[in-house]
Amino acid sequence: MIRVMGAGAFGTALAVSLAKTGPVTLWCRDAEHAREMRKERENARRLPGVALPEEISIATGDLPATDVDATLLSVPTQKLRAFCEENQRLLGSGGPLVACCKGIELSTGKRPTEVIEDVLPGAICAILTGPSFADDIARGLPTALTLACEGEATGAALQERLTTPNLRLYRSTDVTGAELGGALKNVVAIGCGAAMGAGLGESARAALLTRAFAEMKRAAVEMGAERETLSGLSGFGDLVLTCTSGQSRNYRFGVSLGKGEDFEPGVTVEGAATAEAVCTHAEKAGLDLPVMRAIMLLVTGQLRVEQAMDMLLSRPLKEE
């Protein structure tokens, strides 16, 4: 049995896909939300229009720990530490823990698996990441993701267990690279959305995406990743998807910034905090990340889009 902790859109979509291969428990923090899903067999709050198969059990509060193959944590990165602290007993008895979030913790600069290991020392951790939208997964559309785990045997077992007819997983042992690819691309998606929202055009977006990808690789390698990982699904693949689609929350947030409009209330934008976290690290490490820094200044209200673009275009000319 698989446990999915977190009944947001992505957690629900994973549960729907995994239900094709066996029983799944979808855990919800809000008891009233859980009752709604049991009654309607739909997560109308987060993923409307998608029926929840009978193989999915909706749970809240304590859960039995028997026969759990893996526990997937579909919780935003900035809330992950508090979630793990509140549910230590529950998480300590549910098989390998698979983080399903993308970001860097602002207060510590740590990646999701590092946050989990801080709270639960000795836990077996993995990361599930890559180019994916909840609606596509839930509708059964073909999706490919990276499953990164340092232990090869554990990674292979998780890959076999979590693969479904529409969800194909590729295995990696570079947890750092997989996590940083997923985190940093959210920052770039904000910048690309801002460029489009401000009417700067698709050529500007392509240039921004390309130069930011070079920064992603430079930053990730300095932080311990393998360069090749950033060219895979969890890096380049996810970057292309989220920098070109209105389904991306980070991209839509950027569009709102570019237009000078308020963004959708209550929607998590992981790239905003990650922009600050990566720029803080870059400053300490002496890394030159001009695109990431411009996006950070834009997100924090220190620059307007036109000022950010002027700052980037006025940099000294150089070889590619």
Q: Which positions are annotated as active-site residues?
A: 185
Q: DSSP states of the chain as a string? A: -EEEE--SHHHHHHHHHHTTTS-EEEE-S-HHHHHHHHHHSEETTTEEEEEPPTTEEEE-S----TT--EEEE---HHHHHHHHHHTHHHHTTSSSEEE------TTT---HHHHHHHHSTT--EEEEESS--HHHHHTT--EEEEEE-SSHHHHHHHHHHH--SSEEEEEES-HHHHHHHHHHHHHHHHHHHHHHHTT--HHHHHHHHHHHHHHHHHHHHHTT--GGGGGSIIIIIHHHHHTT-TT-HHHHHHHHHHHT-PPPTT---HHHHHHHHHHHHHHHHT---HHHHHHHHHHTTSS-HHHHHHHHHTSPP---
Sign of the four-CA dihedral 127, 132, 137, 138:
positive
User: Between the CA atoms of 77, 81, 85 and 90, what dihedral angle is there, to the nearest 10 degrees?
Assistant: 30
- Phi and psi dihedrals of 222, rounded to 5? -60, -30
